[in-house]
Structure 1
């Protein structure tokens, strides 16, 4: 991909970071929205689970569409379209009068934000190529930060403004972020060979192998998000006030390490960084699984967050730089496979937890991270050296 004459390269990074924050803010706004929907529609947890499933189904259905659009027309156009289509979905969800229409709105919400996810990751890859410097980890750090803001302020907004007021506020912030970012983003265009290539799933195995690596990296993240508090309460006998700190420790260390990740990847190289991250994550999950008390388990989850933080950003960057493959196509495959880990993890782990202990499950998830450790040489396409940076500045 090549970038045309545009604002300074620093504004490209600022713009794509703002897009990640905005997307994370909308996804984070979903967390406090679900209980409000359950109360308004008077639905059970099982029915709510089906509504949540629509979020993932929408993402998996729509991601390939915007991956193909990115490959054919460039990431900037795909970001713009997906973001505009995502803009009213939280409002539609709040206005929907019955379960069927709410489920349809959630499908669109997950789909268009998922499409934006693919396109903005491709744009981050294009900015990396332009700058010859890693930025993907910090972009995902801004996504995490947006999620924290969306979830934290969303709960307060729902309490004080009501469901519709919260939706309006989140939509206005999202629109403002788009207004800032879209005019400043890198407008990349595919080269003639990519533009003429037929849009189909890649035949080479590398995108699917990297996608499997991303899936194995995201399942533990989903397991901590959904089940850490249950583990701390049921098996560690932690009080409710302490149980939430399992995921909080993981999320905090993950966000912090993502902002450090680009610097470390630049210095250590993507392959070494991925290996170190996998080892730290394995150690953290091992500590959590073998913990004899809640504090030790929380410390383990914190170490796991340090390791998990940069596994997926490196995988996405590697997928977007695969030779002989348009970035949008490679990223669509890897994001679909990776996010399916978040989608599949909650139900699968709930099923397993009825038969084995959570401590055994977390130890098993530590073993799962051996996959990205073994596949780490595939991250070589995400390498950026200091020599590249000097050459691009010359």
Structure 2
């Protein structure tokens, strides 16, 4: 992600995304053929580099689309991202059930991914960059400064990714078994129900943005996520905890797509650079927070560690209340924001 904005300036958006897709495909094949720990790590490193390029710039594609057609569509884009996670999880589960080899299991993902990339990259959009800016970037390096509202967007995305990570990285299922004493079959439903809820809500998230407004929707979503996590921590039964996770999904679903959509309207920065910045901040947080939760859980309890998620929800609410005061740093001319 650190290299994505630089590569875009050299190669433009479409070739950079194609390069990232190709690298991730190569990495999957390397990992599938791995016969040692070193080769396995090498494969996943290549996958990570390729996905890093693709992830940041695909959000920029959503920004281009919204700007071109003057519409809100980022939630729909992210809904298909969530659907891909669900389908990929089910496909991997089926491959494991059938006891297929790692290489064949990875090829189940590689083949459709490669086909989509080959036929889809030709329809990707290129961002219009001012000629003066391109010429100045070639002559002398300039120090990049980021507006306060973009920094707030980055912090919000970081918090949202960490809240979701508290469910996705095994914390939800482990908490259900260790603290709610649920069956493992029920605990396994946590992330599926959470992801399924996010997918459904994102299908209608853009309509919510139109009816409520982006800057009103974000604090409401933070409060809903806080309420859902409170139910998870205070519930006495596994069923009520599952309901809490579903409510968390309801609140969390529109947050990240809305952040990327608004970041694409930041002045004095391209959509690709804004998308890369937010992705770096968000994924950077994922390198710190999950180990921190594990450290707290090892010294106290998982329930105590997950109280940190409530703090994240409260911080997201506070930051989202600041955003309307910074609207002048966005280019909202011709947008749908009331």
TM-score (norm 2): 0.89
- Tell me what 2:323 maps to: 378
- For 1:97, what is the secondary structure of its paired residue? coil
Does the aligned pair in 1 maintain the 2:23–2:49 contact within 8 Å?
no
Structure 1 residues 290-338: Cα deviation after superposition (integer angstroms, max 9, x where no partner): 1111111110011001111121112222222211112222221210111
1:190 and 1:301 mapped to 2: Cα distance? 42
Map 1:6-155 onto structure 2 (within 5 A).
Answer: 63-70=1-8, 74-155=12-93
Partner-residue secondary structure (3-state), 1:306: helix
Q: Which residue of 2 aligns with 1:20?
A: none
Residue 347 and residue 204 in structure 1: after superposition, are their counterparts in 2 closer, same or farther (change >3 A)?
same
Shift of 1:156: 1.6
d(CA) in 1 for partners of 2:331 and 2:211? 10
Distance 1:194 1:290 in 2: 54
The gaps in structure 1 that reach 5 residues or longer are 1-62, 390-394
Structure 2 CA distance for aligned equivalents of residues 326 and 200 of structure 1: 15
Shift of 1:187: 3.2
SS at match of 1:375: helix
Q: Secondary structure at the match of 2:267?
A: coil
**Aligned counterpart for 1:253 among listed residues 194, 197, 201:** 197
Alignment-derived partner of residue 224 in structure 1: 167
Q: Find the partner of 2:177 among 233, 247, 254.
A: 233
The alignment covers a number of residue pairs equal to 326
Aligned to 1:345: 289
**1:45-78 Cα deviation digits (max 9, x unpaired):** xxxxxxxxxxxxxxxxxx1211223356543232
Kindly indicate whether the alpha-carbon contact (under 8 Å) linking 2:27 and 2:43 is maintained by their aligned counterparts in 1: yes
Is the CA contact 1:214–1:334 (under 8 Å) kept in the aligned structure 2? yes
Residue in 2 that maps onto 1:215? 158
Q: Call closer, same or farther: CA 1:200–1:167 in 2, change over 3 Å.
A: farther
Query: Once superposed, what is the RMSD of the aligned Cα atoms?
Result: 2.3
CA distance, structure 2, for counterparts of residue 165 and residue 338 of structure 1? 32
Shift of 1:253: 0.9
Alpha-carbon distance in 2 for matches of 1:242, 1:382: 45
Distance change (3 Å), C-alpha of 1:207 and 1:92: same
Q: Which of the residues 225, 228, 234 maps onto 1:281?
A: 225
Alpha-carbon distance in 2 for matches of 1:383, 1:223 = 34
Residues 199 and 290 of structure 1: CA distance in aligned 2, closer, same or farther (over 3 Å): farther
CA displacement 1:105-134 (0-9 Å, x = unmatched):
111101111110111111110111001111
- How far 1:179 moved relative to its partner? 2.6
Alpha carbons 1:71, 1:190 under 8 Å: kept: no
- Aligned pair in 2 of structure 1 residues 114, 139: CA closer, same or farther (>3 Å)? same
- The answer for unaligned runs of 5 or more in structure 2 is none
* TM-score normalised by the chain length of structure 1: 0.77
Q: Are 2:154 and 2:281, in contact at CA under 8 Å, matched by a contact in 1?
A: yes
**Aligned partners of 2:331, 2:222: CA distance in 1, in Å?**
17
